[in-house]
Structures are given as structure tokens and as C-alpha cells.
Amino acid sequence: MAGIGFELKRLFHKKGVLNTTKAYGYATVICAGPMLLGVILLLGIMTLCTIFNTATADRELLICMITYTLLASVTVTSFFSMVVTRYVADMLFEEENQAVLPCFWGSTVIMMAVGSILYGIFLLFSGASLVQGLLCFVLFGELIIVWNAMSFLSAIKDYKGIFMSFLTSVAVSILLGALLLWLKFPVVEALLFAVSVGYGIMLVWDVILLHRYFPHTSLGAFTFLKWIDAFLPLALSGLFMNIGMFSHLVIMWFSDIKVHVHGLFYGAPWHDVPALLAFMTALMTTVNFVVSVEVNFYPKYRNHYSLYNDKGTIKDILQSEKEMLDTLKTEIFYTALKQLLFTATCIALGGYLLDLLPLGFNEIMRGYFRTLCVAYGLYAIGNMLMLILLYFTDYKGACVTTAIFAISTILLTLVSLLFSNVYYGFGFLIAAMIFVIATALRLDYFTRKLPYYILSVQPLVAEDRSGLFARLGVFLEDKFERG
């Protein structure tokens, strides 16, 4: 939903380092709360394991279980997240606020049903104990709801509430984990339970915020499925983006640096830990897009499109288009420059800072960290360009470029396995570079023909795009009404 950065703008108008830090903290949690929480909890758990001298096997199994659960949940939700956001934005634009909450629960039910079956089957044959499997399954369900809630929370302006739910979740998880280890509970079960409690707090808090903001109603919970038929490229873009971001991690679990942890749980700690830390560097562009690009670009964008609706003259339209695209180019340039400088800083200082963390970094891990910092920095820039394509409703372009990213990541990472393990990570790096080039070329091509896409590509009459997903929605509505 465009314009969330505009709502944050007033926070940046307040002077002082504390207020600026607060605003960036709010923006960071709103943009990447669940994944950021997962990374922080993983680092916290590794620190606790070091402090309490836990066995290496327990620590590796725990990290594998949490990582698998995180990636499985985000993969399931990735297909629905962008379409759900589009549906919510449309409902808010039409002032149909009562349709939002049913969509949240309807989409949650579908994702829980599909995800629980698939991940439940994996857990049954994974080799995890009954308690471990149940805790992973509970955590997976919590993550599904939290990921989905974040698509809706961008409509809520209670930034402080969202931020506090994040901080409380982190604090409770770490403190509860330390307490359980101090009481000599089994390591894996104790820390899985602590993480589940943390995400559970975030889940409850976020759902309460949603229920406070949106009205309760008995409207159809599965109406949003029709939007998948209408905007299928949007749904596929979310899925492809997720595959491009994380498939290189999965491939590394079966490389020559893999570690067979237990049962079906494999890992590559030498690669996974640097990758998680490098992923954090991409937040620079993600946050800057919200607090700078949207804030400065969105008013120009809105003014330009409003001229078509408000009978603006050709001269006014051409002038507004030039202003909008000039602003866009400026914001893209400075955002890319900030990401470049931030990545360079992380690489320069990373060697010193990583030695302070109890993560056991060696030279190969430091090399992976440097490579993946650059890779995730490029990915962040490509993701920003893709989001701008979505601004212009170029869903086809977004789908094609994200598909290129996903395919490139898989193929190039597989090719990298043919070389020495010191080059692992370069496959993802080159794929991210291809992603940036593809999105930049598509955005340039699209904006050069912007009047054509606005005026000539639109259908002359309303189209009924109902298909398989719309029929599924009607079927589910009927079943729930009978129930």
C-alpha cells in the first residue's frame, strides 16, 4: 500500500538524534519485522548456547529447525502476500474497511491449511522427536499468521504499537530461553519453546491491533481469491522473489560444506551464518525506500495520475511526467549510493565486529560475508526497482524480472558448486546483478512509453477475470456457511 512513508514523514520532521532513531526503528520493524525478529532470535540463541556451553549438535539442530520453519512459512505466504496487499488497498480506496478483517482470516485459513499439510508431512519424516515436531509445527503456524498480519498492518498508523510488539517479543524470547537453560531444561526443546512464545506474543499483539482498527463483519472471507485470478502475475512475483532470495541457502545445504545435523535436517553453518548477517545489510535500501523514495516520489506520482482524471492539459501532463521521472531517478540514484556506502562500511568493519560475536567466524566465513553483503545490497536495489514497477502497475514486468532472478539464483548457485568452496556465494551475487540490470532495463522501457501504457493498454470494457481461484472462493464460502 503506497504512501506508508508519507505517514512516517512527520516523525522525521522532529529534530534530534533520538527522534530520527525512533523513526528509522519504526520503519525497519514495519518493513521487515518478522524476518528481522527471526535473525535476531537466531543470533540470540547462538549467544545463549555459547554462554551455557551447550553441545554443538544441539545448537546446530536448533538453528536448522528454526531456519527451516522460517523459510517454509515465508514461502507459503509469499504467493498470497502481494495479492492480499492489493486487495486490502482496493478495499480501503473504496472505503470498504469492513472487508479487510474477513480477508485476513480467510487468507490465514488457506495458508495454514496448505502449509500445515506440507510442513506437517516433512516433520513426520524429519527425525524430530514428538515434542520438537510439535514445537516446530506451532512455530510454523505462528509465523504464517505473523507474516500475513504484516501485509495488513501497513494500513495501521499505530507505529509505536507495532514497534513495542517487536521489542517485547525479542526480550521475552531471550530472557525465557536463558531462564529455561539455567533451570537445566533440554536445550532444543527449551529454546524452541522460547522462540514460539516470542512469536506468539507478536502474533497476539498484531491481531489485537487489527481488530481495534478494522470493523468486525460477517462478509465473505474468501472474496480476495478472485484477485488472484485478476492479478496472477502479482502472486507469482512474490513467490519468485522468495525463491530468488533464499534458494541459494537451500542449495548450500547439499554442497560439500553441508553438515548432516539429524534426520532430514541439513545445514551449512559456514555459509548460513554469514548469509543471515549479510541479509541485514539489505535493510538500508528497504527502509530508505519507505522513508525517502516514497515520501518524495509518491506526491509527484499521485499528481501525475490525477491529471488524467481531473482533465489536465497535455502540457500539464507532460510537465508532471517529467517532474515525476526526474524525482524518481534522483531517489533511485541516492538510494543506490547509500546502499553502496553502507555495504562498503559493513565489509570494512565486519571483520572487527564479527570477532566480538561468539559465532566462531573463520576466514572462509568472512569471505562469504563480504560476498553476500554485496549480493544482498544488489538484491535490495533490484527489489526497490521492482516495487517501482508495481507502482506503475507493470505486473507483467515485475513477474518476468523476478522469474529471471529466481532462475538465475538457482542455476548460478548450482554452477558455483563446480568450483572451489571459496567461490560459494558468487552465484547469488551474479544473479542479484542480473536482477538489477533486468529491472532497470524494464523500468526504463516502461517509463519511456508511460502515456501509452496509461491510455492505450487498458481494456475498453470491464473484464471478468474470474477463474479457478474465484470458483474456489465460492466453494469455500458455501462450505463455511453450511458449517
Cell triple for residue 33? 519485522
Contact 156, 210 (CB under 8 A): yes
What is the rounded CA–CA span in Å between residue 129 and residue 121? 14
Amino acid at 465: R
Task: Pick left, alpha or beta for residue 467 (phi over 0 → left; psi -120 to 50 → alpha; otherwise beta).
Answer: beta
pLDDT tens, 255-292? 888 888 888 999 888 888 888 888 888 877 777 777 76
- Which of 238, 221, 100, 85 is CA-nearest to residue 154? 85
Residues near 302 by Cβ (< 8 Å), separated by ≥ 6? none
The pLDDT-based confidence of 88 (bands split at 50, 70, 90) is confident
Give residue 1's pLDDT band: very low, low, confident or very high (50, 70, 90): very low
What does the DSSP assignment read for 253-278? TTSTT-EEEETTEEE-HHHHHHHHHH
Predicted confidence (pLDDT) per residue in 100-123, tens digit = 888 898 899 999 999 999 999 999
Interval 392-447: pLDDT, tens: 889 999 999 999 999 999 999 999 999 888 889 899 999 999 999 999 999 999 99
| 33 pLDDT tier (thresholds 50, 70, 90) | low
pTM: 0.87
